[in-house]
Amino acid sequence: MASSQVNGPVRAVHSPAGWGLSLGRLFTQHPIVSRMVSLGLFFLIWEIAGRVPISYAFPTFLETLSAFVTMLLDGSLFAAYGSTLQPLIIGIAISGAVGVTLGIVMGLSRTAEWLVAPLFIVLQSAPMAALIPLITFVYGIGLAAKTLAVIMLALPVIVLNGYKAVRNANPSLVAMCYSFQGTKLQQIAKIIIPDASPVIFAGLRLGLAAGFIGVILAELLITPTGIGDLITYHRSVANYAEMYAAVVSIILVSTLTLAALEAFEMRVLRPEKRRG
Amino acid sequence: MTLSTASIHALPHAESAAVEVRGISKNYKEVEALRSIDLDFPRGKLTTLLGPSGCGKTTLLKIIAGLIEPTSGEVRVNGKTVTGPGPERAFVFQDFALMPWATVMRNVAFGLELKGMGKAERQSIARHYIAEVGLTGFEDKYPHELSGGMRQRVGLARAFAVNAEVLLLDEPFSAVDEQNRRKFQEDLLRLVEKERKTFIFVTHSIEEAVYVSDRIVLLSRRPSRVSQIIEPKVDRTASPDAIRRDQGYLDTVEEIWQGLKHYVD
C-alpha cells in the first residue's frame, strides 16, 4: 500500500449518490498519494480506451486535457460557469437556508412534521427531471426557471436529512441537558443542533450534488446557456474532446465544492473529528 | 407487608434525610414497575439501590432526579417536593452522556455553562474537579480519545462541578471494565469522604454495593418494593484490599446474595 494510515473522517450517515459525491468522498478520505495513484490509473485506462478507439465519438484523455486547457485559456469555460453558477448558487442558498430551517422545525415539532414531511417524502421519490419541462411551461426559460430546477432537486434531501437528524438526536444527551436544568432553547442550540450537524451537513452535500444535476438538466432541457450549452454546442459540431472536457469540468467543480463544504464542516462544527 | 420487610432497620430521623421517597409507584401502561416505595436517604451517606435486573431501580433513581414522572407518590429533597430536575441534584449517566464534540473541559463545565456562569469562573471550577477525578492533563481531549473509565470520570466531575447536595449515580461503572472499575470505586469512596454529599447509587453488582455503600436498599422483582435495608458492617478506614478481604464485607455479600437468589431464574 502507498500509505499505511488511512484515517479519514468516519461517517456512517449516507451512502454516496452520484459521481461527484463518491469522488468527493474518495478525495477527502484518503491521503494524497493514493488519490493520485487512483486518478492516474483512471486516466491511463481512459487514454488506452480512447486510442483503441472504442468509439469515434470518444476522445483520448490527452485530447480532452488539451481541449480543457484551450477552453480554460480562451475564457469559454469561465464564461459558461459564470452563467451556470448563478442559478446554482442562488438555488443552493435558498435550499440550504429554507431546507435546514424547515428540517429542524419539523424535527422539533410533531405538527410541522405532520404538515410538511409527506410533501417532501413524495418530492424526494418523484422523478424530478420529468418535472423540469413543467417549470419551463410556468416560469419560462430565464433565471427563475433554472433556480427553481436547482431548488426542486436540492431541497427535499436537505429538508429530510435535517428532519431525521434532529428527530434522532441522542436522547441521552437531551436528558443530560434537561437534568442540568438546561432550557428548551439551550437544549436546541447546545445539544440537538450540534448533535444533528453531521447529518444536516450530509444533507447539504447531497443537496449540492443534486443541485448540480438540477442546473445541468435545466441547461440541457430548458435554456441552452452556460456549461450545458457548451456541451450541447460541442456535441452538435462533433468537437468531442471539447464536449468531454466540459463534462469533466462539471465533475471537477462539483467535487471541489463538496470537498470545500466538508472541510468547512470539519473546521467549524466538529472539531473533535480533526484528530484521529 | 412481606416477610422480608421485618428485617428493615429503624429509619433514621426525618431531619437527617436529604431525600424522602413517599409512596412512589410507576406504571408503564400495564406493567407495574414500582409499587408504593417509601424510603429515606440519609444526608451525607451513600445509599445503594440494589435489585434483580429489570426491577426498576434506575426508574426510581430517575424519578428522584425528576427525569421521569411517577404515576403516584412524591419525592422530597430537603423537604421540597420534586417536580423536575433541580440544582440540588446532579445525575451521573450510565452511558456517560458526554457531548462528543466538546472537550473534557467543556463537558465538565457544561452544567455551569447552562446556568450562565462566565467562562473563566466555570473553567476554574471544572479544572478543580477534573483534578479531583484524576484527569489533569486531559482537559483538551475529546471523549472518544478517552477510555470508558476516564469518560465516566468526566461524567462524575460534571456532576460534582454544579455543587449539588445530592448525587445520583445510575450504574456508573457498568460500562467500565473490571480493573478500571475497582480503581474507580476506590476513588469514589475517597470522593464520598471528601465531598460530604448525599449519594444515591444504582448498581446490580452486590460486591460493588457492599464495597461502596453506607446503606443498601434491596428491591424486589417487578412490581418493585423495598424488600430489605442493609447497613454493611465494613471498616472503611482499612485499605481497599483489606476491605475486600474483611469478614464483615464477605458476610454482607453473602447475606445479600441469599436475599436475592430466589429472584434469579
Domain B3-88+164-261 class? alpha beta
Residue of B59, B103, B110, B151 to mutate for A, most A C-beta atoms under 10 A = B110
Confidence label for B107 from pLDDT (cuts 50, 70 and 90):
very high
Residues of A in contact with B99 (CB under 8 A): 173, 191, 194-195
Percent with pLDDT over 90 in chain B: 33
ipTM exceeding the 0.90 mark = no
B21, three cell numbers = 421517597
* CA pair distance B231, B216, nearest whole angstrom: 6
A34-63, pLDDT tens digit by residue?
Answer: 778 888 999 899 899 888 878 888 888 898
* pLDDT value of residue A105: 92
Confidence label for B230 from pLDDT (cuts 50, 70 and 90):
confident
Do residues A63 and A248 make contact, with C-beta atoms less than 8 angstroms apart?
Answer: no
Confidence label for B3 from pLDDT (cuts 50, 70 and 90):
very low
Residues 6+ apart with CB under 8 A from B199: B45, B46, B47, B166, B167, B169, B192
B31-53, pLDDT tens digit by residue?
Answer: 888 888 899 999 888 999 988 77
A123-179, pLDDT tens digit by residue?
Answer: 888 887 788 878 877 887 788 888 998 999 999 999 999 999 999 999 999 999 999
* CA pair distance A16, A14, nearest whole angstrom: 6
- Of the candidates B204, B220, B200, which has an alpha carbon nearest to the alpha carbon of residue B159? B200
Q: Which amino acid, A235?
A: R
A252-271, pLDDT tens digit by residue?
Answer: 888 888 888 888 877 776 66
Mean pLDDT of B230-258: 81
* pLDDT value of residue B260: 77
B95, three cell numbers = 452511558
- Of the candidates B29, B33, B31, B30, which has an alpha carbon nearest to the alpha carbon of residue B61? B33
A156, three cell numbers = 427535499
Domain ranges of chain A: 70-270
Domain ranges of chain B: 3-88+164-261
Number of CB atoms found within 10 A of residue B12's CB: 14
Beta strands, E only, B61-197: 72-77, 80-81, 89-92, 166-170
pLDDT surpassing 70 at residue A12: no
Distance from CA of A39 to the nearest CA of B (A): 33
Q: Please indicate whether, in this complex, the C-beta atoms of B101 and A269 are within 8 angstroms of each other.
A: yes
* pLDDT value of residue A23: 56
A12, three cell numbers = 456512517
Confidence label for A272 from pLDDT (cuts 50, 70 and 90):
low
Do residues A225 and A145 make contact, with C-beta atoms less than 8 angstroms apart?
Answer: no
Least CB–CB distance from A179: residue in B91, B102, B142: B91
Q: Which residues pair with B42 in a beta bridge?
A: B17
Task: Tell the CATH topology of A70-270.
Answer: MetI-like fold (1.10.3720)
- Confirm or reject contact between A179 and chain B (CB < 8 A): yes
